[in-house]
Amino acid sequence: MLFLRSLIYFLGSTLVLSALVAIALVLFFTPLKVRYAILSKWSLFCLWWLRITLNIKLNIIGKENIPNSACVIISNHQSTWETLALQTIFPHQTWVLKQELQWIPIFGWGLSLLKPIIINRGEKLKALKKVLKQGAARISEGIFVVVFPEGTRQPYGQLGEYQKGGVAIAKKTGCDISPVYHNAGKLWPKGSFVKQPGLITMVIGKSISVEGKSAAELTKEVRDWTEAQSLSIQ
């Protein structure tokens, strides 16, 4: 039964995404804000469709901590779910993503229309330079930048090593860091087509100032906060 419900979710989300990407492609030469306004509707649909088809609900703790100005959002990475949910919670944003994602039919085309920061993880030095340059540019444009410092999705209950790219953007621009933790992998695990019903909890921590702190100190502070949330929220 869960396989069938997951299949219905997949078919519905793919159909809606295809329609929105087609519209956005027609409007390719319109401003980024217009394309984002169109394509971000998919995330709203997906979260609603997850509730309808699989009874997956969301509980947000700390929504009052969302900054009023553009910042770097640093989140743990367990699932596809968080890339959708963050769009429905935070203002206009972009993401640091591996280049392979833009090759996925329909989904990748939609991503490419939103000016993400695409990196080749095999070229670490070039990737870091690109993240810093483009990340700073997006912040200056008033766009939030989402970074998954683990680099890839982790199994539920595990926290990978945090890389310093997101912290480096914040240091370069002087903006705050908004730490985020969620337990989406419990219901929508990495690599799993079948999803489980239940409640996903997302915690948005108080903004972290970069002033007077090194990149290493900030990275440790964010990861320690995330680890504490993972132990308190199952």
**pLDDT tens string 161-195:** 999 999 999 999 999 999 999 999 999 999 899 99
The pLDDT value given to residue 56:
98
Model's pTM, two decimal places? 0.94
Pick among 2.30.30.40, 3.30.870.10, 1.10.150.450, 3.40.1130.10: CATH of 58-232: 3.40.1130.10
Taking the domains of the chain in order of start, what are their residue ranges? Answer: 58-232
**pLDDT tens string 5-21:** 999 999 999 999 999 88
Structural tokens at position 118: 């695409």
Q: Is the pLDDT of residue 102 over 90?
A: no
